[in-house]
Structure 1
Amino acid sequence: MPSETSKPLWLAYTGLVLTPLFWAGNAVMAKSVVGEIPPLSMSFWRWVIALTILLPFGLPGVWRQRRVIREHSLSILALATFSVAAFNSLLYFAAVTTTATNIALINATIPIMVALLAWLLLGDRTRPIQALGIGLAVLGILAVVARGDLSVLTGLRAQPGDLIMVLAVSSWGLFSVLLRRQAVPLPPLTFLTVQIACGTMVILPFFLVDLLFFSGGFELNTSTALPMMYFAIFPGILAYAFWNHGVHRIGPAKAAIFMYLTPVFASVMAGIFLGERLGLFHVIGGLLILAGLFLATRTTELRRKYR
């Protein structure tokens, strides 16, 4: 079997272009089907399907590493809660009351949130250029949340979905910070398999309560089954694999540039498939966020992530 470094470099670049496309598709698809599939059902079944696909490949490693998994069980549970369970569930809840474009723009600030929380919680040194980047990105988020109207903020009239997406990004930031403090020495595939399994179990009781007392679940048909397969395979498994391969081949700094494509892809797809129109506040907020990302990630190594 050829080694990672012996594979053509164009494969890494292709994967890094497809990854933000899949992430953008996650937001657009969630918005398009959230009226048919409740958010918790979307989140739960996405990971059940992904886990079913991964288990034949990941289970042998889980068995070999069972002692390490047992020793780090609490850390694994905490990491799975903030990433697999909370982040994705909150993103799908956000889709109920905000646009796919807003979801993608706010989601693009994850590196900013990681840098901010690392500074606040870990005492990481923040260089002036990074602080400027964080400040610009925060202004960009406020522009998107306020929809260009300052009274939205002063009157506390922001769309719930936008605020939920801020919570989702904060959850991923906490996961990233916790991952640094409580690193789990597992191979990537084994770690991903265990994370998804634990995260799915965390979602399970909330999903059951929602199923029995609130949403009642959803009808399984072509219009719901195909999106669920997309959620599991493309932004879940493939995006994770492509991102890590790309980072390994060309380095985190160059790979970070491709993250800027996510809101671009999302706005185009949302316009085509959902009829969403870009407002001036999207343009201003997006430019501020992208400028902030550029400045804040110039000297910050991005960690691997899956969504």
Structure 2
Amino acid sequence: MARYADRSLALAYTGLVLTPLFWAGNAVVARGVVDTIPPVSLAFWRWVIALAILLPIGLSGIRREWPVIRDHWPRILVLALFSVASFNTLLYVAATTTTAINIALINSTIPIMVALLAFLLLGERTRPAQGIGIAVALAGVLMVIGQGTLGRLISLSFSPGDLVMVAAVASWGIFSVLLRRLSIPLSSLTFLSIQIALGTALLTPIYLIDLLLISGSFTLSASTVPPLLYVAIFPGILAYAFWNHGVLAVGPARAAIFMYLVPVFASVLAWLFLDERLGWYHLAGGALILAGLFLTTRNPPVPTKASAADPEQ
């Protein structure tokens, strides 16, 4: 029994290391395919593929829990708008004009955005350490966006992709706060399946408009299918499964520490595959963001079953 427990714990920690690696890879792939896959197409086909994989598994749960889905579908639709339809689409749009390293660093402020929005929208009290952490992390984000130069911030001469990424983080923050507020009594797999289905439906007209008016035609090919499979399977489905298992096995507070690895992995992958270089402002801003994360997430409240899952990275 002890050997089985040790093996299960080892698998949980392995999954918690792979999860930030997969999420970092999402940013690197998005940046790497900007010339071959339009960002809206990348988001749309990611979720189509993920839905095709999940639906056969989750269909029985959808049928069984259909009365709950029917009663709560407006709430699920709103959640799908800010998560499936918006978050990754904005992330992929950001990748067209900013680096994978910037994406990962700004993306790592999600817990801080959630704490800030929970205070603003739900009136949740923040501890003094949280307030300091939010301010420190914000300074780090401004350091990265301004590339360490105050003049760039004052003159607004920074990359538009950085601002789009901030909007993506805000979108995920709104989703997280609403998820806590709009409690929906569905099993994790059923919730994920119906959320992706509704989010893909919301993305479909945006995808068609993008093809007709902005990006032009896009066709699946031998060169575009592999990155689409990666973003659908690894940062989506597998990371979701690994994250949930890790939270259950080691607890949410300990699991959250592994999210600090996302910008680390992204920096290495971006250097290896995209020839992106770390600037001093990345290191300084990243250190401030990590310090802010530590202060903001120290002794966090235990999340609900629904909020433990983060499949949208």
Find the aligned partners of 1:89 and 1:121 in 2 and give their Cα distance. Answer: 24
CA contact (8 A) 1:37 1:217 kept: no
Q: Equivalent residue for 2:22? A: 22
Q: Structure 2 matches for 1:261-280, cutoff 5 A? A: 261-280=261-280
Q: Equivalent residue for 2:203? A: 203
Q: Using the TM superposition, give the Cα deviation of residue 274 of structure 1 relative to its aligned residue in structure 2, in angstroms.
A: 0.3
Q: Using the TM superposition, give the Cα deviation of residue 221 of structure 1 relative to its aligned residue in structure 2, in angstroms.
A: 2.2
Q: Equivalent residue for 2:89? A: 89
Q: Using the TM superposition, give the Cα deviation of residue 5 of structure 1 relative to its aligned residue in structure 2, in angstroms.
A: 7.2
Q: Equivalent residue for 1:33? A: 33
Letter in 1 for 2:123: G
Q: Equivalent residue for 1:75? A: 75
TM-score (norm 2): 0.95
Find the aligned partners of 1:34 and 1:269 in 2 and give their Cα distance. Answer: 16
Q: Equivalent residue for 1:128? A: 128
Q: Using the TM superposition, give the Cα deviation of residue 239 of structure 1 relative to its aligned residue in structure 2, in angstroms.
A: 0.5
Q: Equivalent residue for 1:287? A: 287
CA contact (8 A) 1:81 1:202 kept: yes
Find the aligned partners of 1:96 and 1:235 in 2 and give their Cα distance. Answer: 19
Q: Equivalent residue for 1:107? A: 107
Q: Using the TM superposition, give the Cα deviation of residue 91 of structure 1 relative to its aligned residue in structure 2, in angstroms.
A: 0.1
Aligned-partner SS, 1:67:
helix
- Structure 1 residues 37-83: Cα deviation after superposition (integer angstroms, max 9, x where no partner): 00100000000000000011001000111110010011000000001
Find the aligned partners of 2:43 and 2:210 in 1 and give their Cα distance. Answer: 12
Letter in 1 for 2:174: L
Change (3 A) 1:21 1:217: farther
Find the aligned partners of 2:68 and 2:7 in 1 and give their Cα distance. Answer: 31
Gaps of 5+ in 2: none
Find the aligned partners of 2:131 and 2:161 in 1 and give their Cα distance. Answer: 27
TM-score (norm 1): 0.97
Gaps of 5+ in 1: none
Find the aligned partners of 1:213 and 1:135 in 2 and give their Cα distance. Answer: 40
Between the aligned residues of both structures, percent identity stands at 64
Q: Structure 2 matches for 1:46-195, cutoff 5 A? A: 46-195=46-195
Find the aligned partners of 1:137 and 1:67 in 2 and give their Cα distance. Answer: 43
Q: Using the TM superposition, give the Cα deviation of residue 6 of structure 1 relative to its aligned residue in structure 2, in angstroms.
A: 8.9
Change (3 A) 1:74 1:246: same
Find the aligned partners of 1:76 and 1:7 in 2 and give their Cα distance. Answer: 37
Q: Using the TM superposition, give the Cα deviation of residue 218 of structure 1 relative to its aligned residue in structure 2, in angstroms.
A: 2.4
